[in-house]
Amino acid sequence: MFNKAIEKAVVDVLDTGSKLQAPAVRRYVEFLRERHPGENPAQIVERLEKQYLLAVTGSGAAVGATAAVPGVGTLAALGAVGAETAFFMEASALFTLAEAYVHGIEPEDKEARRAMVLAVVLGDAGMAIVQKGLGTSSKNWAGTLANKVPGMAAINNRLLQQFIKRFITKRAALMAGKILPAGIGAAIGGAGNRALGKVTIDNARKAFGPAPAVWPTPLHRVIDADPLPAIDAAPAKKP
């Protein structure tokens, strides 16, 4: 029952993040390109990595510091850890999808996006699950998830089980460190998240391979993300 609850929470966070991020990923990468027009894909990937690492390190340190605030203490820190864990996962989703876009890869549906994010976070174990499920031995496997493929739901189920077994255990150890008083938790929280972030970055490099030498032609794939509220609520024009 407990694992089922964790599994549902993980899926909800990943899907919510993907739905919100999918329409914004293109704008995010294009914004970086506009700010740095002379940079090639490899340099933009480096910026994505740095921004991701800064974000997850800062969130870990902030939660750890909560325990040292007079009048707040460890009880409040315990509550903040859950939100911080969700932030880490959503940040990982945005980073993974943004790097995929740089490589010209835009997953069509939520199952493919979920599999890509989970497999990148899991690293070699995730790669093995995807390769076995897709029947491929390609080292840079992420591109195979760009289109709908049969058996994706089964692949995601295996990825989720592996994710819960390995990733949640690691974060449980970090959570214990983050609620230490007197500011010690801030140091552990920041360093722990930085370590996990570096692992995710290394996994992404393995999954996508080297950045392309030139910018790929946009794929313009249809992404089945939920429409933005403002767009969804806009009245249809009369013919």
Which pLDDT belongs to residue 6?
A: 58
Residue 89 maps to a domain: yes
Burial class (CB in 10 A: 0-12, 13-18, 19+), 71: exposed
Query: How far is Cα 115 from Cα 121, in angstroms, rounded to an integer?
Result: 10
* Residues in contact with 124: Cβ distance below 8 Å, sequence separation at least 6, in sequence order: 203, 206
Query: How far is Cα 115 from Cα 20, in angstroms, rounded to an integer?
Result: 17
Residue 217 maps to a domain: no
CB neighbourhood size of 232 (10 A): 8
Which pLDDT belongs to residue 44?
A: 95
| Region for residue 194 given its phi and psi (left: phi exceeds 0; alpha: psi -120 to 50; beta: otherwise) | alpha
Residue 56 maps to a domain: yes
Which pLDDT belongs to residue 216?
A: 84
Which pLDDT belongs to residue 207?
A: 87
User: Which parts of the chain are beta strand (E)?
Assistant: none
Which pLDDT belongs to residue 221?
A: 43
Contact 149, 191 (CB under 8 A): no
Residue 230 maps to a domain: no
Residue 218 maps to a domain: no
Residue 15 maps to a domain: yes
Which pLDDT belongs to residue 72?
A: 41
Residue 106 maps to a domain: yes
Binned average pLDDT, 10 residues per bin, the chain of 239 residues: 58 62 78 92 95 76 41 40 65 88 84 85 86 74 72 87 72 49 43 79 90 75 36 39
Contact 14, 118 (CB under 8 A): yes
Which pLDDT belongs to residue 117?
A: 87
Burial class (CB in 10 A: 0-12, 13-18, 19+), 17: buried
Q: What is the pTM of this model?
A: 0.70
- Helix%, strand%, coil% for the chain, nearest 5: 75, 0, 25
Residue 216 maps to a domain: no
Which pLDDT belongs to residue 188?
A: 41
What residue numbers bound the domain in which 207 lies? 2-211
Computed on alpha carbons and rounded to an integer, the radius of gyration of the chain in Å comes to 19
Count of structural domains within the chain? 1
